[in-house]
Structure 1
Amino acid sequence: MTEHFEAVARFDAAIANAKDADTAFAALQALVQATVGAKLFTYMTVDMEAEVARRAYTSDPENYPTSGTKPIRYDAWFDIVHKQRQYFVANTIADIAKVFPDYGLINSLGCQSVVNMPVVLGGELVGTVNMLDVDGYYAPERVRTIRELIAVPAKLAAVVAR
């Protein structure tokens, strides 16, 4: 944890001054980049009443813009992330293809592994932090770092973004 002290301190300073979603999630992305790494970073909000998800932040607006919504799909990924409130981790494009219909685009961006981290506030899943990188990237030690260093800051960024 002490090896990431400066990254956490930079996040703390940035989030203290954040007044909108873009600034809050940019601070979170910087923390992720400095501690775990991600070729693609997004934050999706969830509206279960309307049964839609919306990309609220993206590191790649050309391929993954923030405009529009997409319907919630009730599948194995939904069970893991929404119902069980667990991280979804896939370390091959074959495993990503099982749950994400846009796996071809994901692969074309050089991403073959993913971690989707649920963000829960007040007992409600409000969004997911999505980190993607090369094949096999999110090994157990990186996922542990995400749990230890990113989970609480992600909640804080989500609060600021609201």
Structure 2
Amino acid sequence: MPSDNPSTLTTRIAGLLDALADARNADDALREVDRCRRQIAGESIFSIQQNVTTAQDPADEIRLSRFYSSEAERYPVNGAKRKTLTPWTECLFVQGRVFVGEGADELARHFDDFELMHAHGLQSVVNVPLLQGNLCYATFNVFGTRARWQPQEVLGIRLLALAAARWVPVAPDLAPRFIGASLRNPVEA
């Protein structure tokens, strides 16, 4: 069960960072991240979606491929989906901001596979963009069975995403077509 104690969160994240220093490959590292995620977010499902959009894909679509899944039986690695430009894709892929969705209505509004999520008791999500410069090359996703997240859980998930980012490669043919649409260089602002 997740803890409300900020010092416990700090200890868990510090332990994860120490463990990641010894990881030999992405699978080992992401299993450590997953272990820590269970402690921070409790009953939840975790995945990383890699942005595999190419120049040949339609201009108004983003193509995603599952790079990691805590529930590979239900949500297999390499499972693919296409997303059109929506407020959700705008938030993550154009603005490079974290998306926090709470409650069944919010999930239904943003995810076309909501019925599958609902069947598994999922009611909330934290999506963290993994960025290289202004390019969102992947998303770090935690779907919870609770309707609302606690602030320390969101913070913990965001820190886990930062720790995981170095283990997620940028897809070789990624077409960075949304870079900078809303992200601004502070010097230009």
- TM-score band (shorter)? 0.7 to 0.9
- How far 1:78 sits from its partner (Å)? 0.3
Q: Does the alignment pair 1:101 with 2:112? A: yes
Following the alignment from structure 1 to structure 2, what is the Cα–Cα distance between the partners of residues 114 and 38? 12
* Aligned with 1:41 (options 39, 46, 50): 46
Contact in 2 for aligned 1:15/1:157 (Cα 8 Å): no
2:111 aligned counterpart, secondary structure? coil
Q: Does the alignment pair 1:152 with 2:157? A: no
Q: Which amino acid aligns with 1:40?
A: I
- How far 1:141 sits from its partner (Å)? 4.1
Q: Does the alignment pair 1:114 with 2:125? A: yes
1:59-87: per-residue Cα shift (whole Å, max 9, x none)? 11121111342223211110111111111
* Aligned with 1:11 (options 12, 16, 28): 16
Counterpart of 1:56? 67
Q: Which amino acid aligns with 2:68?
A: Y
1:65 aligned counterpart, secondary structure? coil
Identical residues among aligned pairs (%): 26
Alignment RMSD: 2.5
Q: Which amino acid aligns with 1:114?
A: V
Query: Structure 1 residues 19-28 or 134-143, which shifts more?
Result: 134-143
Specify every segment of 5 or more residues in structure 1 that has no aligned partner in the other structure, as ranges: none
Query: Structure 1 residues 115-124 or 28-37, which shifts more?
Result: 28-37
* Aligned with 1:134 (options 130, 142, 145): 145
1:40-61: per-residue Cα shift (whole Å, max 9, x none)? 1111111232542110111111
Q: TM-score of the superposition, structure 1-length normalised?
A: 0.84
Counterpart of 1:65? 76
Query: Structure 1 residues 87-96 or 13-22, which shifts more?
Result: 13-22
1:86-130: per-residue Cα shift (whole Å, max 9, x none)? 111111111101111111111111111111111112332111111
Following the alignment from structure 1 to structure 2, what is the Cα–Cα distance between the partners of residues 125 and 26? 22
Following the alignment from structure 1 to structure 2, what is the Cα–Cα distance between the partners of residues 108 and 22? 28
User: Alignment length, in residue pairs?
Assistant: 161
Following the alignment from structure 2 to structure 1, what is the Cα–Cα distance between the partners of residues 143 and 97? 17
Contact in 2 for aligned 1:116/1:130 (Cα 8 Å): yes
2:21 aligned counterpart, secondary structure? helix
Q: Which amino acid aligns with 2:49?
A: M
Following the alignment from structure 2 to structure 1, what is the Cα–Cα distance between the partners of residues 148 and 167? 24
Bigger share in helix: 1
Following the alignment from structure 2 to structure 1, what is the Cα–Cα distance between the partners of residues 91 and 10? 31
Contact in 2 for aligned 1:38/1:131 (Cα 8 Å): no
